[in-house]
Homo-oligomer: A and B are copies of this chain.
């Protein structure tokens, strides 16, 4: 691809030779001839000066330091993301329903949608234009998949649940499982029928083997632009605000409300029935047991130590309240 054609698609301008051929993305350090790379700030100026890339996505201020052709842009990383789909196009399958799929006669599948091998689309489900239901997938009764949304193989979207447009759901994700609602009784745990839905907005990414429980009565809500990594557990009636990003292995217990534009690090655990403000950033592996009312960055993970030192630390922590008392006694004497 010619660099000026690429710049044209991005509505940006070229500095240097627009006839430069680019056909692959690469990082500054690993790029070779024919590669397009990117640089976000002066911090990487040495790597920039030495890159072997044929072209670079670059902010105005660094153009003079580029040893190759350049596309000038305010947000090189976002431009790089766009280029990743232009230089490496998605292998969208051909439209149509596989002869081996099971599509209920009362389901509505747009002619431009694709239903893969052994996929099930149940009664009254609606699959919109250019949506893709991967092989071995399941779309339950009255469920809805928005335009241009792609479910990779082996995704479950349960009855009455919905996902909007331009979404992407990785394999093994389960959307609409019945949540953990049980009442104690004299005969043991009595299940509460979970009759709410999962409602997912537009441009939402759901990672592999992530689970999202349907609401107990009301819905579980995932707003537009939310991105969810793999193996996240979202319990019933959770609400997640726009453009919040959640890394892998996070667990969120029931009825918790998470604001907009949050960034939740991997393996955080968030208890139920709390609220997290907009713009909160959580370090990986934090435990959140109370509401967070102010935006900002928070953490709770423990330091890793060589095991012999750890044993002493562990023992000392177990007795820390005693240590506090000893210090108080010293202060009084």
B180 touches A227 (CB 8 A): yes
CB distance from A124 to the nearest CB of B (A): 12
| Residue A64, interface by CB 8 Å | no
- The answer to whether the Cβ of A267 comes within 8 Å of any Cβ in the partner chain is yes
Q: Which residues of B contact A98 (CB under 8 A)?
A: 102
Interface residues on chain A, number (Cβ under 8 Å): 126
Chain B residues whose C-beta falls within 8 Å of the C-beta of A27 in the assembled complex: 217
One of A1-9, A11-19, A41-49, A282-290 contacting the partner? A282-290
Interface centre among A80, A116, A320 (most CB of B within 10 A): A320
> Is A162 an interface residue when CB atoms closer than 8 A count as contact?
no
Contacts A178-B168, A231-B211, A247-B180; is A301 near B287 (CB within 8 Å)? yes
> Which residues of the partner chain B approach A324 to less than 8 Å between Cβ atoms?
316, 319, 323
Q: Is the CB of A312 within 8 A of B304?
A: no
Chain A residues 268 to 308 lying within 8 A of chain B, measured CB to CB, are: 269, 271, 282-290, 292, 296-307
Tell me if B245 and A189 are in contact (CB < 8 A).
Answer: yes
Contact partners of A296 in chain B: CB under 8 A: 306-307
Chain B residues contacting A180 (CB-CB under 8 Å) are: 205, 207, 227, 229-230, 247-248
A222 at the interface (CB under 8 A from B): no
Q: Bound state CA distance, A73 and B2, in angstroms?
A: 67
Q: List 22 A-B contacts (CB under 8 A).
A: A75-B183, A78-B183, A78-B185, A81-B183, A81-B185, A85-B193, A88-B195, A102-B135, A138-B154, A140-B153, A170-B178, A172-B174, A230-B235, A231-B231, A231-B251, A266-B271, A298-B305, A299-B307, A299-B310, A301-B302, A312-B321, A317-B317
Minimum-distance CB pairs A-B, first 8:
A177-B208, A78-B185, A84-B193, A188-B225, A81-B190, A81-B183, A249-B251, A267-B269
Since A85-B191, A312-B321 are in contact, a sample of 16 more A-B pairs with Cβ atoms closer than 8 Å, ordered by chain A residue number, is A25-B217, A78-B183, A118-B136, A138-B153, A152-B156, A208-B211, A211-B231, A229-B235, A271-B284, A285-B287, A287-B301, A296-B306, A313-B320, A313-B321, A316-B324, A323-B323
